[in-house]
Amino acid sequence: MIRRELLLGTVATVLGVTALPARADEEDATYTEDEITHAAADFFGIATEAAAKAVQRVFRDLGQPDAYIKGDEGSGAFVVGLRYGSGWLIRKNHEAKKVYWRGPSVGFDIGGNASKVFTLVYNLRKEERLWQRFPGVEGSIYFIAGIGVMYQRSGGVTLAPMRTGVGWRAGANVQYDEYTEKRDWFPL
């Protein structure tokens, strides 16, 4: 009986020690520029060269992301605005996770748009770190179509949403996006 417990304890210790490096690798798995360029081009339905320009800029500024979110959103504003979106959090070696975001804005901003959003996520490590508010300042001119990139940072996590959309919207605003696991229509 004692030998059996000793043997099981030794096996568990060995398995636990060998599993730790693999888990750390999974947590720190990142995407290459080529992987992100192809994923963005496929998602947006545009040529790889067009997606590459936006992706190259973000990679030059921030490096390799450890996750990305692909989804859709709608927003509108007349001085005060609202934005609602939903999509999928994609991480290497993990199942895709449904994610929602929403947030208010205020500024010199008017119009409305519907967008496809491809967000690069940096320093996520654990999905729980995404469930927070990410403040930002946004300036945009959407007239029929376009693509834009902005950076949001909170709690050590950095987001780089790339948006392409349709509609008419012009202005600048101060805003935040709150990311959650469940849909919530209350904007604050």
Is-contact 184 99, C-beta < 8 A?
A: no
Residues composing the chain: 188
Closest CA to 92 of 132, 129, 125, 134: 125
pLDDT band at 188 (very low <50, low <70, confident <90, very high): low
The residue behind tokens 């693999």 is 22
CA 161 and chain centroid, separation:
7
Element (H, E) at 42: helix 33-44
Average pLDDT over all residues of the chain:
82
pLDDT at 87 over 80: yes
| % of the chain exceeding 90 in pLDDT | 55
Note the pLDDT of residue 109: 84
Give tens-digit pLDDT for 32-80: 999 999 999 999 988 778 788 889 989 999 999 999 999 999 999 999 9
Please give the average per-residue pLDDT across 132-158, as a whole number.
78
Note the pLDDT of residue 117: 95
Note the pLDDT of residue 9: 45
Please give the average per-residue pLDDT across 151-178, as a whole number.
89
State pTM to two decimals: 0.81
CA distance 61 to 79: 31
> 9 versus 176: which is more confidently predicted?
176
